[in-house]
A = this chain, B = another copy of it.
């Protein structure tokens, strides 16, 4: 989707937006890591994600693939870079066609850097000389199909140091059909304002977005500023010099410097900030927090889960089973072929394709590497008993480790409300993998549980999903009274099902009531997709966990025992008004 309206809306509401720029990593392991990072950073609600074009066009396919994946699986808008370096007209056309077909509708059109190893930039025989040629070509061939950004150079261009000439060129690029200007990184804020003023004077009316690269590392900082010919204010040089050998001090300095710069830029009216993240997460998150741009307050989610931005799916899909709520990417990969959501419901749950995890495995391509195994061993240790397993689950609930095979993200903010109960449950041998507390008509603007826009009320039934032994399940079911108003489903690897739900039933566990609208019920518990989830959930014990150990090891054996004997259980407390499912559990 073109981000034109989104940007216009931010500007109209005088709300500062921000975007994150990433580059395609070189290895599968790096790519998987970056996807996890982008997935987490999505919760910061960037307006869009930039993905750079490989210098010299070498990583073209990777860039396209990354853009598509981010858009499809992480529900974020994407602006894809495209450069003229080493590209003939026909290659560019092919890429633009593919981008268009894949709904990648935002392009940052650049001339590009010289290819690696070259010092000077040379035009491709059949290609374009300047960024403006690329802009003209896109507008000529594709009309208004794309939202187009171009680069701006507050510090002057590497190859054009007369700023007035440079701004004349920029004006021509904008006139040729650019929708936004994103600037090169800079540290001298006065140069940016001078640049902006000159742009305005020259009649450039599109938004001019400053590019910010937080200082992460002294050596890299020097390399970048030299490469881009970016000037460094004396004060910054002096301050950095004194701490240059202490990496964490440099990082903290970078956060403070960029935050201060951001504060002044916002004060002076820039509509947004563009962050060169260098594929790093920490600094940008800190800067946004210190600028008070991120807080769950004020950001209204359209639905409780993040929507895919993909055309049809975005507007048509409004219900998902709760089981995959901690494994969104897997759910989206499995349901990718669902282009049909009759009446906003999910597609064909009985479809034979709803078993394939190929696409997911392509995204999580690094999963089987030794590096990943080593990393996982570090997180989950080498459990030798059920007690050790308990410790892993308890650590996750305490926030001491940030993932489990079933949870790609740390414990959700809203489940933290019940984290002490969750810790107790895990200590009792109920290994929890998914949960939500009950909510009875909270305002839809609520910082933690709200969604769906303003003026509404949202509801949730308490939900808990865990693995437990046959014995513990028996005890739990025996103590369950009909008055408890609990719905449950339990199943083991062999498919033995114990439930009080009727076949093919569907129940809402999250719903909302809004002015002038139908009731929305975006999250459900349904008996049919539970059977599919069961295979995935059990599989993770072996594929994602046991597989990191030697097959003869105690760790492997204890995990295999759980896989073979435990039950996957989910329970819903139908009394969302004053139910006490958790209290019930401890009795």
Q: Is the CB of B485 within 8 A of A505?
A: no
Contact A507 B511 (CB under 8 A): no
Tell me which of B345, B508, B516, B524 contacts A505 (CB under 8 A): B516
A residues 429-471 in Cβ contact with B at 8 Å? 441, 455, 457, 459
State the copy count for this chain.
Answer: 2
Taking A342-B343, A343-B343 as contacts, is the C-beta distance between A501 and B516 under 8 angstroms?
yes
Asked whether, in the complex, the Cβ of B519 is within 8 Å of the Cβ of A508, the reply is yes
| A511 contacts across to B, CB distance below 8 A | 513, 519
A519 touches B521 (CB 8 A): yes
A577 in complex: contacting residue of B457, B515, B519, B577, CB < 8 Å: B457
A525 to chain B, nearest CB (A): 9
- Residue A223 at the chain B interface, CB threshold 8 Å: no
Q: Out of B441, B501, B513, B574, which one reaches A508, CB within 8 Å? A: B513
Which B residues touch A508, using CB under 8 A? 513, 517-519
| A217 is an interface residue with CB less than 8 A from chain B | no
Given A455-B485, A485-B455, A516-B342 contact (CB < 8 Å): no
Which of chain B's residues have a CB closer than 8 A to the CB of A459?
A: 513
Determine if A362 is an interface residue (Cβ-Cβ < 8 Å): no
Give bound CA distance, A576 to B574, whole Å. 21
Is A487's beta carbon under 8 Å from chain B? yes
- What B residues does A572 contact at CB under 8 A? 516
A497 within 8 A of B: no
Closest to A459 in B: B513
Number of A positions contacting B (CB below 8 A): 30
Interface residue? A206 (CB, 8 A): no
Q: Assess whether A441 is in contact with B577, with CB atoms less than 8 Å apart.
A: yes
Which residues on the B side are within 8 Å of A521 (C-beta)?
518-519
- With A and B bound together, what is the CA distance between A506 and B501 in angstroms? 31
When chains A and B are docked, how far (Å) is the Cα of A511 from the Cα of B441? 14
Contact B517 A505 (CB under 8 A): yes
Nearest Cβ on chain B to A338's Cβ, whole angstroms:
16
Task: Please encode chain A, from 493 to 505, with 1 for each CB lying within 8 Å of some chain B CB and 0 for all others.
Answer: 0000000111001
Complex contact A487–B515 (CB within 8 A): yes
Least Cβ–Cβ distance between A17 and chain B, in angstroms: 26
- How many Å from the CB of A216 to the closest CB on chain B? 47
Determine if B485 and A515 form an interchain contact, defined as CB atoms under 8 angstroms apart.
Answer: yes
Q: What distance in Å separates the Cβ of A346 from its nearest Cβ neighbour in chain B?
A: 11
B-contact bits for A506-548, CB 8 A (1 contact / 0 none): 1110010111111101001000000000000000000000000
Q: Mark A560-584, 1 if CB is under 8 A from B, else 0.
A: 0000000000001010110000000
Q: How far does the Cβ of A355 sit from chain B's closest Cβ, in whole Å?
A: 25
Which of A459, A514, A519, A521 has the most B CB atoms < 10 Å from its CB?
A519
- The chain B residue with its CB closest to the CB of A486 is B515
B517 and A519 form a contact (CB under 8 A): no
Distance from A488 Cβ to chain B, minimum over Cβ atoms (Å): 10
Of all chain B residues, which has the CB nearest A527? Answer: B516
A505: chain B residues at CB < 8 Å are: 516-517
Asked if A576 and B524 make an inter-chain contact with CB atoms under 8 angstroms apart, the answer reads no
Q: Pick the contact of A518 from B485, B517, B524, B576 — CB < 8 Å?
A: B524
Docked pose: A516 CA to B489 CA in angstroms: 11
Binary per-residue interface labels of chain A (367-390) against chain B in the complex, 1 for a CB within 8 Å, 0 otherwise:
000000000000000000000000
Contact assessment for A518 and B507 in the assembled complex, using a CB-CB cutoff below 8 Å: yes
CB-CB under 8 A from A342, the residues of chain B are 342-343
A501–B514 Cα gap in the complex (Å)?
Answer: 13
- The distance in angstroms between the C-alpha atoms of A441 and B501, with both chains bound, is 23
A515 pairs with B574, CB closer than 8 A: yes
Q: Please, which residues of chain B bring their CB within 8 A of the CB of A514?
A: 574
With the chains together, A505 CA to B346 CA distance in Å? 21
Shortest Cβ gap from A344 to chain B (Å): 9
The CA-CA distance from A518 to B346 in the complex, in Å, is: 14
**Are B507 and A517 in touch, CB under 8 angstroms?**
yes
Q: Are A507 and B516 in contact (CB under 8 A)?
A: yes
**Complex Cα spacing A357 to B474, Å:** 60
Given contacts A506-B517, A516-B574, 6 further A-B contacts (CB under 8 A): A342-B342, A457-B577, A500-B516, A506-B518, A514-B574, A519-B519
Pairs A–B under 8 Å by Cβ, sample size 9: A342-B342, A455-B574, A485-B515, A501-B516, A507-B517, A507-B518, A514-B574, A515-B574, A516-B574
- Chain A residues within CB distance 8 Å of chain B: 342-343, 345, 441, 455, 457, 459, 485, 487, 500-502, 505-508, 511, 513-519, 521, 524, 572, 574, 576-577
Query: Which 3 A-B pairs have CB atoms at the shortest separation, nearest pair first?
Result: A515-B574, A343-B343, A508-B519
